C-alpha cells in the first residue's frame, strides 16, 4: 500500500498565530507555506507590546521550542500596572510584579515576530502575496488567488489573516461590526530624556485612566518608547464627522484637548506632546458566537475566527489556536480528522470568550483597572 501523500498546507497571514502554526508544523516534519500581503518582514512597524500568558501564549511557545528564548528577551518588569485618577493624575491602583513573576511578561510585537520568523526554514514565508480569494470545491483541492496574478494550490488553507480575513469568506458570511469604541494611537520616543514626566507616570509597564466617556492607556515598549491609546465612545468615522482628515494632527489635537479638558494637565500631555501624527484604530468584533459549517480543507485561527474587543486575550488565543491546530495535524491520520479535533476544542472555547467579552469594549472607559491589548496592529 502506498502511503498517503503529504498534504499541501497553506497558512495565510504571517502574524504571531500564523507563524506559530508554521513553526510547530515544521518541528513535526510537516511542510507548510505561509503567504503574507506585506512586501517583507520590515515593511512596517509591527505595533506595540504584547503580554504572553502562562496558560495560553506561553504554552504555544513551549510547543514551538521557543519559550526559553522568549523568557530571555521578554520584559517581566512590563507587568507593572497603574490606574490613575483622570482629574488629578493620582495613582489609585498599582501592581508591581514580584521578582521572578512570569505570569504575563511583555514583548514587543516586532520582537516576537522576529523570534518566530528566525525559527522557520528559509523561504517558508512568501512575501508580497495579497490574497484575493480562496477558490475550489469544499472537498479540495483549494486554489489561492493573489492580487499579483499568481496562485497556489493547497489541500488545507489556514486563515490566520486577522480581522478582515479573506480566508473567512470561504467559510462564513460574518463580518466584523464596530463596537462603538475607538482608539487613537500616539507615539513617544526616547521618553526618559525627552518626556520624563510621561515616563514617570507610566513606569516600566502600563498606566490607564478614564472618566466614563474618555480614557487612555499608555504602555512602555522596548527601546525607550511609549505608545498611548486614547479611547473614546465615538462613531467610527468621528474624524471625518469633525470635518478633519486623518493627517490633520493639529486639528485632531485641538478636538482632543477640548474633550479631555477636565483631565489632569500631566495626563493631557499624553494626548498633546506626541511625536508625529495620530493613528485611528476603531475597534471591531465578530458576531457572537462566530461559527461556520465544517470544511475538510479550510479553517481559521485567531482574529479571523473570533475577533473580540482588546481586553487582553487576542494574541494569546491566536497562538494557542495555532499550537492546537498544528498538533492536531501532526497527530491525526487525515487533515479532516485533525480539523474536526481542533474545531471541537477551539470553537467552544472562543464562543465562551466571545460571550464573556461581548459588549465589554466600554470597559476600556471605566475607572476600574483594565488592561487593553494593543496586539493586532
d(CA 243, CA 23): 47
- Which is nearest to 79 in space by CA: 266, 255, 206, 264? 206
When pLDDT is cut at 50, 70 and 90, the band that residue 99 belongs to is confident
Numbered residues of the known binding site for FAD: 51, 109, 303
Mean pLDDT calculated for residue range 238-251:
97
5-51 tens-digit pLDDT? 789 999 999 999 999 999 999 999 999 999 999 998 887 666 788 99
pLDDT of residue 211: 94
293-349 tens-digit pLDDT? 999 999 999 999 999 988 778 999 999 999 999 999 999 999 999 999 999 999 999
Per-residue pLDDT for 128 more than 80? yes
DSSP state, residue 66: -
Per-residue pLDDT for 2 more than 80? no
Give the number of other Cβ atoms within 10 Å of residue 94's Cβ. Answer: 13
184-209 tens-digit pLDDT? 999 999 999 999 999 999 999 999 99
Q: Which CATH class is domain 9-79+101-175+286-361?
A: alpha beta
Give the number of other Cβ atoms within 10 Å of residue 199's Cβ. Answer: 19
pLDDT of residue 374: 40
**The pTM of the whole model exceeds 0.85:** yes
Distances, alpha carbon 56 to alpha carbons 17, 74, 185, 245, 316, in Å: 12, 16, 27, 40, 6
pLDDT of residue 100: 81
CATH number of the structural domain 179-285? 3.30.9.30
Numbered residues of the known binding site: 44, 51, 109, 303
Residues 6+ apart with CB under 8 A from 76: 97, 100, 101, 102, 105, 106
d(CA 305, CA 353): 12
Mean pLDDT calculated for residue range 72-94:
94
Mean pLDDT calculated for residue range 338-366:
92
Numbered residues of the known binding site for NADPH: 44
DSSP state, residue 371: -
Per-residue pLDDT for 126 more than 70? yes
Provide the pairing of β-strand 9-12 with 156-159. parallel
164-186 tens-digit pLDDT? 999 999 999 999 999 999 999 99
Task: Please state the domain extents for the chain.
Answer: 9-79+101-175+286-361, 179-285
Per-residue pLDDT for 371 more than 90? no
Amino acid at each position: 500500500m502506498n502511503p498517503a501523500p503529504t498534504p499541501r498546507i497553506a497558512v495565510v497571514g504571517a502574524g504571531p498565530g500564523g507563524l506559530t502554526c508554521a513553526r510547530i508544523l515544521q518541528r513535526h516534519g510537516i511542510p507548510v507555506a505561509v503567504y503574507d500581503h506585506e512586501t517583507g518582514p520590515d515593511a512596517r512597524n509591527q505595533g506595540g507590546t504584547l503580554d504572553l500568558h502562562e496558560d495560553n501564549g506561553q504554552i504555544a511557545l513551549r510547543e514551538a521550542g521557543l519559550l526559553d528564548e522568549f523568557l530571555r528577551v521578554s520584559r517581566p518588569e512590563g507587568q507593572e500596572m497603574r490606574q490613575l485618577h483622570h482629574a488629578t493624575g493620582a495613582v489609585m491602583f498599582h501592581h508591581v510584579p514580584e521578582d521572578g513573576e512570569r505570569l504575563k511578561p511583555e514583548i514587543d510585537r516586532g520582537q516576537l515576530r522576529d523570534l518566530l520568523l528566525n525559527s522557520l526554514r528559509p523561504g517558508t514565508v512568501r512575501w508580497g502575496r495579497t490574497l484575493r480569494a480562496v477558490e475550489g470545491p469544499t472537498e479540495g483541492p483549494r486554489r489561492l488567488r493573489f492580487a499579483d496574478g499568481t496562485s497556489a494550490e493547497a489541500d488545507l488553507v489556514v486563515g490566520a489573516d486577522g480581522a478582515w480575513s479573506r480566508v473567512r469568506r470561504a467559510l462564513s458570511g460574518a463580518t466584523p461590526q464596530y463596537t462603538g469604541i475607538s482608539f487613537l494611537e500616539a507615539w513617544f520616543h526616547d521618553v526618559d530624556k525627552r518626556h520624563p514626566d510621561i515616563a514617570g507616570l507610566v513606569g516600566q509597564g502600563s498606566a490607564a485612566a478614564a472618566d466614563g466617556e474618555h480614557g487612555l492607556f499608555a504602555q512602555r515598549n522596548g527601546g525607550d518608547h511609549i505608545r498611548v491609546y486614547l479611547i473614546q465612545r465615538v462613531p467610527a468615522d468621528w474624524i471625518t464627522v469633525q470635518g478633519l482628515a486623518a493627517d490633520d494632527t493639529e486639528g485632531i489635537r485641538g478636538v482632543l484637548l477640548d474633550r479631555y479638558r477636565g483631565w489632569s494637565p500631566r495626563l493631557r500631555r499624553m494626548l498633546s506632546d506626541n511625536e508625529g501624527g495620530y493613528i485611528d484604530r476603531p475597534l471591531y468584533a465578530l458576531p457572537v458566537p462566530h461559527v461556520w459549517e465544517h470544511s475538510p480543507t479550510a479553517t481559521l485561527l485567531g482574529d479571523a475566527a473570533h475577533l473580540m474587543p482588546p481586553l487582553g486575550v487576542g494574541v494569546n488565543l491566536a497562538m494557542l489556536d495555532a499550537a492546537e491546530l498544528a498538533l492536531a495535524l501532526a497527530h491525526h491520520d487525515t487533515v479532516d480528522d485533525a480539523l474536526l479535533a481542533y474545531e471541537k476544542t477551539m470553537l467552544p472555547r472562543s464562543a465562551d470568550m466571545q460571550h464573556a467579552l461581548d459588549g465589554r469594549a466600554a470597559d476600556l472607559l471605566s475607572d476600574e483597572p483594565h488592561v487593553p491589548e494593543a496586539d493586532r496592529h
